Chains A and B, each alone.
Chain A
Amino acid sequence: MAAHATTETLPQGEIAKPNTGWIWRTFWVLVGITAVEFVFVFFMNPGTLRNSIFIVLTILKAFFIVGEFMHLKHEVKSLIWTILIPTALLVWLVVALVTEGSYVGEVLSHMFSK
């Protein structure tokens, strides 16, 4: 919270001015990353490389949403790890099972061919 708090003491009943610069900055970063994703959608041929780019950009977006909007970057370290380590394991799960899926597809398509 130290990054965003106002440190001045106010007279009774007065409300501090909004401190929102960081919010709009993060918003524009997210818009920018999404725009870059769309450039890749329309100007790059589909394939594993393109998919990897999408996933990296999405994780980058997630980093900003979770770190800034959900404030996780400014929480206690152990809470950050409590959230991040299981999520990293989920990422492994997705990669592993997509690989399995491709393998199953390959096996099935070659099973009955000569």
Chain B
Amino acid sequence: MAHSTTLQPNAASAAYADAPRTGTWDGGNEPFKASYGKLMMWFFLLSDAFTFGAFLTAYGLIRHKHGVYEGTAKAFHFSSAYWPTPDKVFNAFPGLHGLDLPLAFVALMTMILIFSSVTMVLAVEAGHRMDKADVQKWLLWTILFGTMFLSSQAWEWTHFINGHEEGTLMADGTVMHGANLAANQYGPPLFADLFFFITGFHGTHVFSGVCLLVWCFIATTNGTFEKRGHYEMIEKIGLYWHFVDLVWVFVFTFFYLV
């Protein structure tokens, strides 16, 4: 990174006009002291951050455009006139039918994903020590937690779509339970639309992450990385996995807390 790129050979070096350039970004170097693959993963994650940033920004704009509930917490009821309070919508827990446990299940999902991030870092750390057995162990735990998160999200969607026991009286006089893309019992139509869109995009990322982790596990077992001499692939997939966790942290804040 010390020498600059020469764009035009000067008169003195005319004899070397065809010589290859040797600047930092001219190939054969590691700019930012990171390998090609790692740097490209960082740049990809930055672009994905723009994508999710755009989604959450759109959510923020739309949400604040809608009316706000202005009564007491006790008197709250669903209506398409205002955006619902999240802890009134997301208060179910699998297996505990009828109990009012606001945000409890989504808190569990957050912990599952953070835990999967921990096991992922542990896998990367094991890779640094060329410890194949530990890499396999931690990769399996990460895959398990990732799958648990996906299953939890599937349950959450099912419950959201099927709705609460008590339906909501809609403008056309019917009582609606649950949600679809056109209308939902909790609030304005865009509430459900944005829920499906943003958590759906995130869930797809988690799913692709799990697929990549499964492939990593297979490659580790086959000795691909031992032969290569380094486990950098685990590190790169780890970056993707942490990004997925990070997006969830933001989605969780914007959708369920704010």
Query: Do the two chains belong together in a single complex?
Result: yes
A residues near B (Cβ < 8 Å) are: 4-6, 15-16, 18-20, 23-24, 27, 30-31, 34, 37-38, 41-42, 46, 51, 54-55, 57-58, 61-62, 65-66, 68-70, 75-76, 78-79, 82-83, 86-87, 90, 93-94, 97-98, 100-102, 104-105, 108-109
CB distance from B155 to the nearest CB of A (A): 21
Chain A CB within 8 A of B158 CB: no
Question: Is B61 a contact of A41 with CB atoms below 8 Å?
Answer: no
Q: Does A108 lie within 8 Å of B65, measured CB to CB?
A: yes
- CB <8 Å contact, A19 and B107: no
A75 CA to B41 CA, complexed, in Å: 14
Asked if A94 contacts B57 (CB within 8 A), the reply is: yes
A33 nearest in chain B by CB position: B249
A86 touching B46 by the CB < 8 A rule? yes
For B50, B65, B111, B245, which residue has the most chain A Cβ atoms within 10 angstroms?
B65
Which among A6, A55, A69, A86 is the interface contact of B253 at CB below 8 angstroms? Answer: A55
20 contacts between A and B (CB under 8 A): A4-B128, A18-B122, A18-B125, A18-B134, A27-B114, A27-B115, A31-B111, A37-B257, A41-B87, A42-B102, A51-B257, A54-B257, A54-B258, A66-B242, A69-B120, A70-B243, A79-B33, A86-B50, A102-B65, A105-B67
Cβ-defined contact, B57 with A87, below 8 A: no
Chain A residues near B130: list those with CB within 8 A: 15
| Residue contact A31 to B65, C-beta cutoff 8 Å | no
Complex Cα distance, B111 from A65, in Å, reads 13
Which of the residues B32, B50, B114, B125 comes within 8 Å of A19, measured between beta carbons?
B125
- Encode contact with A along B172-216: 1 for CB under 8 Å, 0 otherwise: 000000000000000000000000000000000000000000000
Task: With A34-B107, A34-B110 as known contacts, state yes or no: A76 contacts B33, CB within 8 Å.
Answer: yes
Residues of B at the A interface (CB closer than 8 Å) are 32-34, 39, 42, 46, 49-50, 53, 56-58, 60-67, 85, 87, 102-103, 107, 110-111, 114-115, 117-118, 120-122, 125-126, 128-131, 134, 238-239, 242-243, 245-246, 249-250, 253, 257-258
| Majority secondary structure of chain B interface residues (helix, strand, loop or mixed) | helix
B249 touches A65 (CB 8 A): yes
By secondary structure, the A interface counts as: helix
Task: List the A residue with the shortest CB-CB distance to B43.
Answer: A82
Q: A34-B107, A79-B32, A98-B64 are in contact. Are A24 and B118 (CB under 8 A)?
A: yes
Bound Cα distance from A108 to B188, whole angstroms: 15
Q: Is the CB of A94 within 8 A of B34?
A: no
B257, A62: Cβ atoms under 8 Å?
no
A85 to B33, CA, bound (A): 19
Given contacts A54-B253, A76-B32, A101-B64, contact A66 B246 (CB under 8 A): yes
Given contacts A62-B249, A98-B61, A108-B65, whether A31 and B114 have CB atoms under 8 Å apart is yes
Query: Which B residues lie within 8 Å of A100 (CB)?
Result: 61
Top 3 nearest A-B pairs (CB, nearest first) are: A101-B64, A101-B61, A98-B60
Are A79's CB and B125's CB within 8 A? Answer: no
Chain B residues lying within 8 Å of A18, measured Cβ to Cβ, are 122, 125-126, 129, 131, 134
